Amino acid sequence: MTEIYKLDANVVLRFLTGEPEDMAERSRKLMQRADRDEIKLKLSPLVVAEVYWVLNSYYEFSREKIAQVLGKLIRAQGIETAEVELIGEALELAAEKNVDFIDAILSLRAKKEQVKVVTFDREDFKKLTVEWVEPEG
C-alpha cells in the first residue's frame, strides 16, 4: 500500500525556490518519489494559498510566475490537490486580472454557488466577474 502524506508549505517552498540548498534537495527527492508513485502527497488549498503568499510577498515572484510553477505542481504526478480545478482556475485568474489569489478563489466559489461576496476590497472585485457588495454603514 502506498504511503500518503500531507504536504506542508515549507516543503513546497524549498522545492520551488531551491533555498536553502540542503532542504531543497530533500524536497526534490520527496517530489521524485511521488513522481515515481512510491508515495502520494496530498496538497490542500490552504497550503497552496500560503505558498502563493510567500512566493509573492517574500520571494517577489510575479503572479504569472506563481501561476506557472504552482499550476504545474498542483497537477504533478503523485500529488493529489484538493479542488484542483478551482485552484488552477484561481491561479490563472489572479495572474490575468492582477488580483489576490484568495479573492480569485472567493469569487469563483461565490459564482459557482450563485451568491454575492461581501467585501471592502473594491479594487480586486471590480476586476472579477462576480456580484459583490460592501457592508452597509
Q: Is residue 111 part of a domain?
A: no
φ/ψ of residue 82, rounded to 5 = -65, 135
Q: Is residue 64 part of a domain?
A: yes
Q: Against a cut of 0.85, is the pTM above it? A: yes
| Residue spans of the chain under pLDDT 70 | none
The pLDDT, as a whole number, for residue 92 is 98
Q: Is residue 29 part of a domain?
A: yes
Q: Is residue 49 part of a domain?
A: yes
Overall number of domains in the chain: 1
Q: Is residue 81 part of a domain?
A: yes
Q: Is residue 43 part of a domain?
A: yes
Q: Is residue 91 part of a domain?
A: yes
Structural domain harbouring 47 = 3-97
The pLDDT, as a whole number, for residue 137 is 81
Query: Is the Cβ–Cβ distance between 109 and 85 less than 8 Å?
Result: no
Q: What is the pLDDT of residues 28-53, one digit of tens each?
A: 999 999 999 999 999 999 999 999 99
